[in-house]
């Protein structure tokens, strides 16, 4: 088991679970941030129409994927980036929380 710096907020865990099984077919995203005082990964924003031009830190992205055989799927993709101009302490909190978030959300594409 890896070191866990920040845990994932319970309400976010439930939101990620519902997001995984959503019925909508549009691209959408859940954007998360770290609450430094509580040392929790929490919901920052939700988008029903989303483009990947954002410089947010933790993003779970659902998109339409057309397979070569004609099937359509809606995989979840986890995107992690370090915030621009972030203090080293905060960068460590994000890096140290990534694995716990990926495991909690049961994400496979990182």
* Ranges of each domain in the chain: 7-105
Q: Give the whole-angstrom CA distance, residue 70 versus residue 73.
A: 10
DSSP classification of residue 104? H
Sign of torsion, CA 59 34 2 20? negative
pTM of the predicted structure, to 2 decimals: 0.73
Rounded Cα gap, residues 29 and 43, in angstroms: 11
Domain 7-105 architecture: 3-Layer(aba) Sandwich (3.40)
> Residue 49 has what pLDDT?
66
Write the pLDDT tens digit of every residue in 44-95.
988 876 655 555 678 888 888 999 999 999 888 888 877 667 788 888 888 8
How many angstroms separate the Cα of 93 from the Cα of each of 5, 6, 110?
A: 6, 7, 18
Contact of 32 with 12, CB cutoff 8 Å:
yes
Mean pLDDT computed over 99-110? 83
Per the DSSP assignment, residues forming a β-bridge with 33 are 42
């Amino acid at each position: 088991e890896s070191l866990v710096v920040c845990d994932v907020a319970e309400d976010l865990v439930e939101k990620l679970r519902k997001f995984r099984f959503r019925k909508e077919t549009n691209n959408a995203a859940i954007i998360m941030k770290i609450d430094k005082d509580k040392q929790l990964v929490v919901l920052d924003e939700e988008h029903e129409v989303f483009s990947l031009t954002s410089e947010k830190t933790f993003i779970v992205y659902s998109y339409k994927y057309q397979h070569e055989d004609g099937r359509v799927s809606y995989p979840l993709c986890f995107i992690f980036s370090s915030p621009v101009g972030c203090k080293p302490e905060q960068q460590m909190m994000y890096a140290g929380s990534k694995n716990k978030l990926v495991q909690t959300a049961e994400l496979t594409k990182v």
